[in-house]
Amino acid sequence: MAEETIFTKIINGDIPADIVYQDELCICIKDINPQAPTHVLVIPRQPIPRLVDANEEDKALLGHLMISVGTIAKQLGVEDAFRVLINNGEDAGQTVFHLHLHILANKKFSEDSLAMS
């Protein structure tokens, strides 16, 4: 079995986090190192190390994560302008190997501001 990540520990309630949203398939927390005034992470409860590790059985979960992004954006009042980002692998800036989606908002983004940890 793979080592538990910080996200697994948050999902299990072992580490506190500022929870913005949760349902049976995912949890959304505020990022502890925000890169925008609004920066939250949408994390599936089922651990998938990287997006590339998802498979056919994960289709419904991946779709649920995207629908949840919309729900969360509306809840946060940023539905008119936000960015969704997924890092895949260390060289892409992924530091926790448990798939998660970044929602960033309340900042003007330029095309060259794509780097995100």
- The CATH number that domain 6-105 falls under is 3.30.428.10
pTM score of the predicted model: 0.92
Whole-number Å distance between alpha carbons of 60 and 107: 31
**Per-residue pLDDT for the chain (117 aa), expressed as one digit of tens each?**
457 999 999 999 999 999 999 999 999 999 999 999 999 999 999 999 999 999 999 999 999 999 999 999 999 999 999 999 999 999 999 999 999 999 999 988 876 655 544
- Enumerate residues 6+ apart whose C-beta is below 8 A from 51: 86, 88, 99
96 vs 87: CA distance, rounded Å: 10
Active site residues: 100
DSSP for 4-70, please give it: PPHHHHHHTTSS---EEEE-SSEEEEE-SS-SSSEEEEEEESS--SSGGG--GGGHHHHHHHHHHHH
Write down the domain spans for the chain: 6-105
